[in-house]
Amino acid sequence: METINDVVDCVTSVVEKVSSPSSRAGSTIERAGKMLEADISEDVIALQMSKNSPNQETYSGDDVRAYGKLFEDAKTKVLLTAKQTRSLIKDQKEATFNGLTPSYQS
């Protein structure tokens, strides 16, 4: 059984190296959510994520709880549609171009 798991882990690792950032982010959120469902401590998950961060990011238990919330919601619905995302990005670019600072950046 260990050999099969080793092969699966190796193949998964290769696929993840060529995956898009959104695919890797989705996989990470799903894995964090599954670990939370298995009652693994948020702090343990955060430590593992921090140790694996290629950009030396530090994650907290609060971050992991937020990923768990996202994982639960994403089981039934996309929280940011493509249309909403394009519209908000367009509005942001227009506001910046016109010299306005959105309220969330002040």
User: pLDDT tens across 49-99, in order?
Assistant: 999 999 999 999 999 999 999 999 999 999 999 999 999 999 998 887 777
Q: Is the pLDDT of residue 1 over 70?
A: no
Q: Is the pLDDT of residue 106 over 60?
A: no
Both tokens of 87, joined, read 């519209």
Residue 34 is which amino acid? K
Contacts of 59 (CB under 8 A, 6+ apart): 45, 46, 47, 49, 50, 53
User: Which comes out higher in pLDDT, residue 28 or 97?
Assistant: 28
